[in-house]
Amino acid sequence: MTEPANDRPVSVALGLGGLLRIGGRAVAVADVLTLLNAIQATGSVQGVATELELSYRAAWDRLRNLEAALGHQLVQKTRGHGSALTPFGLSLRQVLGDATAGLAAALAREGRAVEASLTALFTETPRRLALAASHDLLLMEVVEALGEGEVAVVGSKEAVQRLLDGRADVAGFHLGAEPLSASGPPFAELADNPGLRVLPLFEREQGLMLAAGNPLGIRAFPDLAGRRARYVNRQKGSGTRLWFDRLLAEHAIPAAEVQGYGVEEFTHQAVAAVIATGTADAGLGARSAAERFGLHFLSIGWETYYLAASATLPTEALDRLVSAVAARAERSPGYKAPPRS
């Protein structure tokens, strides 16, 4: 009896492939690297045989055939120490190993996209998206309502890095008023990358969230330092923290002059809650969080919140999320749908 497809989880692991052609001979890159790594790890041909589940003779035959194809000796016996890679073998292993390491993140990312497609094909049920996203109340509410994704709340930098490394299907991030191409790593890796799909999700108003009634009379950004406001910051790597640090630089305000600069919270809502309890006087965050806690709000500007994913990730669930968020943004204070090109 055939086991139902939807009872079997789908898993995909992509690896380095291709052929290494020397003259008229061709050898699989993966086979070369596997043999070289086995020699380096075990220090003996017997170790290669055990690791690759071959007989001792078959392991030697494979090594000699590979050396004949490449035209160079790869392994040398050392008296009393088994076998070791020759200088040529070591260099070849280094070159192929570096290529594997350089492609590892992209292969892991594409492996997740293929896995999502195959899950839908085999089970006829879309796999839930794994989102790594900078915190936003509207986004979290829509994801929960749709029930098609799971969110790990992290800073914008971490969200993008998880996508690039293949540890998430989708990244949600923001940069203040900074364009992608000017934002440095890892954000700049998303700009004009044909392997990735980057979508503006909504525009969001950010500003200084201040104690109700603004008792310190803060009217402009420099007043944070001038009036000794107790500030609560966002964590390093968050888009809001990056924007705040740029604002400090623009106004020539040393971080040491901001009382509480080292005090960190991980969401807009947490920052607003700290201010609402009277523990702090100010923090940078979204208008939506300020209004939810009844705080005074001094606008700094609007920013775009983005989603990024592999270009080969199935689009249905992602498109539903984008549409639902855009519809909610159009009727929510402090948000608006992004301009469409």
Check if the beta carbon of residue 14 is closer than 8 Å to that of residue 110. yes
Tell me, what's the pLDDT at 179? 83
In sequence order, the 6+-apart residues with CB closer than 8 A to the CB of 269 are: 135, 137, 289, 292, 293
CA 170 to chain centre: 8
Tell me, what's the pLDDT at 2? 41
- Kindly report the three-state secondary structure assignment for every residue of the chain: CCCCHHHCCCCCCCCCCCEEEECCEEEEHHHHHHHHHHHHHHCCHHHHHHHCCCCHHHHHHHHHHHHHHHCCCCEEEECCCEEEECHHHHHHHHHHHHHHHHHHHHHHHHHHHHHHHHHHHHHCCCCCEEEEECCCHHHHHHHHHHCCEEEEECCHHHHHHHHHCCCCCEEEEEECECCHHHCCCCHHHHCCCCCEEEEEEEEEEEEEEECCCCCCCCCCCCHHHHCCCCECEECCCCHHHHHHHHHHHHCCCCHHHCCCCCCEECCHHHHHHHHHCCCCCEEEEEHHHHHHCCCEEEEEEEEEEEEEEECCCCHHHHHHHHHHHHHHHCCCCCEECCCCC
Check if the beta carbon of residue 54 is closer than 8 Å to that of residue 62. yes
- Residue 102 β-bridge partners: none
Q: How many residues does the chain have?
A: 341
Quote the crossing angle between the two packed helices 87-123 and 29-42, to the nearest 10°.
120
Q: Which CATH number, 1.10.4160.10, 3.30.56.10, 3.10.150.10, 1.10.10.10, labels domain 19-103?
A: 1.10.10.10
Q: What is the pLDDT along the chain (341 residues), one digit of tens a residue?
A: 344 444 557 788 887 788 888 888 888 888 899 899 999 999 998 888 998 899 999 999 999 999 998 899 999 987 767 889 999 999 999 999 888 887 888 888 888 888 888 887 787 777 889 999 999 999 999 999 999 889 999 999 999 999 999 999 999 999 987 888 788 889 999 988 899 999 999 999 999 999 999 999 999 999 999 999 999 999 999 999 999 999 999 999 999 999 999 999 999 999 999 999 999 999 999 999 999 999 999 999 999 999 999 998 988 889 999 999 999 999 999 999 987 65
Domain 129-336 coded CATH 3.40.220.10: no
Asked if the domains 19-103 and 129-336 are classified in one and the same CATH topology, the answer is no
Tokens coding 301: 């500007």
Tell me, what's the pLDDT at 287? 96
Tell me, what's the pLDDT at 8? 56
Domain boundaries, the chain: 19-103, 129-336
Q: Between vectors from CA 73 to CA 70 and to CA 77, what angle results, nearest 5°?
A: 150
Tell me, what's the pLDDT at 276? 98
Q: Between vectors from CA 177 to CA 299 and to CA 203, what angle results, nearest 5°?
A: 70
In angstroms, the first-to-last Cα distance of the chain is 53
Tell me, what's the pLDDT at 341? 59
Q: Quote the CA–CA distance of 65 and 333 in Å, as a whole number.
A: 70
Alpha carbon separation from 1 to 4, 7, 9, 74 (Å, rounded): 9, 13, 18, 49
The pTM (predicted TM-score) of the whole model is 0.77
**Cis before 185? omega within 30:** no
